[in-house]
A and B are shown apart, each in its own frame.
Chain A
Amino acid sequence: KQEVTQIPAALSVPEGENLVLNCSFTDSAIYNLQWFRQDPGKGLTSLLLIQSSQREQTSGRLNASLDKSSGRSTLYIAASQPGDSATYLCAAYSGGYQKVTFGTGTKLQVIP
């Protein structure tokens, strides 16, 4: 059974700092790895999707990488801003309608 872990559970950084969020998964046979952002009281907003054949994806200040062999994905946020404060979740897609496993998230606070 796929397990997805995100450490740390919470992170606080000063504005302007570059930071890395981690996502580990136990079964390397994944199709996609998706990063989401969740604001308090809101749903999940997709940030980046990495297909299994890709190594990374970039969108603005965000860069996500995928290393299937080591069971890891990282989300890099450059020049963090207070507006980046949210919970970030990763999800591993292992194929099939049921086989999407979510991590419990990293709650990020960017301090002005």
Chain B
Amino acid sequence: NAGVTQTPKFQVLKTGQSMTLQCAQDMNHNSMYWYRQDPGMGLRLIYYSASEGTTDKGEVPNGYNVSRLNKREFSLRLESAAPSQTSVYFCAGGWGAGSPLHFGNGTRLTVT
């Protein structure tokens, strides 16, 4: 069972470049999430999708966009990367509000 799969695992960008982080799940999750993890700050929610076809902002959405392509896939796009977006990005899935989250292994992004 693959669970929640994220690609790529590592990425280095220069300021101003764009990229898309991919996430796919095979756990039949209805809801999907993007978090970022920074030292000393815990995980913070960037965007979430409660169900296929819907997306909503989380705590730190500025500089990001998302697409819920279908029930399985939820992508995160950085249109113009900034050094402040250097972080570890995690995708997670769940079966609804308040249900336990299942995480992918993360994407480690460095913006120089």
- The interface of chain A, by Cβ under 8 A from chain B, is 4, 31-32, 34, 36, 41-46, 49, 89, 91, 93, 95-98, 100-105
The residue that B42 contacts in the complex, of A43, A46, A102, with Cβ under 8 A, is A102
Task: List 7 A-B pairs, Cβ < 8 Å.
Answer: A4-B42, A31-B98, A34-B101, A43-B103, A100-B45, A102-B42, A103-B42
Inter-chain contact B106/A97, CB cutoff 8 Å: no
Inter-chain contact A43/B90, CB cutoff 8 Å: yes
Complex CA distance for A50 and B98, rounded to whole angstroms = 12
Q: Would you call B2 an interface residue if the criterion is a C-beta within 8 Å of the partner chain's C-beta atoms? A: no
Inter-chain contact B104/A43, CB cutoff 8 Å: yes
Tell me which residues across on chain A come within 8 A of B100, comparing CB atoms: 32, 34, 46, 49
Q: Would you call B12 an interface residue if the criterion is a C-beta within 8 Å of the partner chain's C-beta atoms? A: no
Tell me which residues across on chain A come within 8 A of B41, comparing CB atoms: 104
A-B CB pair tally, cutoff 8 Å: 54
- The interface of chain B, by Cβ under 8 A from chain A, is 4, 31, 33, 40-43, 45, 48, 50, 56, 58-59, 90, 97-98, 100-106, 108
Chain A residues touching B, majority SS: strand
Whole-angstrom distance between the Cβ of A40 and the nearest chain B Cβ: 11
Tell me which residues across on chain A come within 8 A of B97, comparing CB atoms: 95-97
Whole-angstrom distance between the Cβ of A105 and the nearest chain B Cβ: 8
Tell me which residues across on chain A come within 8 A of B56, comparing CB atoms: 97-98
Inter-chain contact A46/B48, CB cutoff 8 Å: no
Complex CA distance for A40 and B58, rounded to whole angstroms = 26
Tell me which residues across on chain B come within 8 A of A93, comparing CB atoms: 98
Tell me which residues across on chain B come within 8 A of A43, comparing CB atoms: 4, 90, 103-106
Inter-chain contact B42/A44, CB cutoff 8 Å: no
Tell me which residues across on chain A come within 8 A of B103, comparing CB atoms: 36, 43-45
Tell me which residues across on chain B come within 8 A of A103, comparing CB atoms: 42
Inter-chain contact A100/B42, CB cutoff 8 Å: no
Tell me which residues across on chain B come within 8 A of A34, comparing CB atoms: 100-101
Complex CA distance for A100 and B101, rounded to whole angstroms = 9
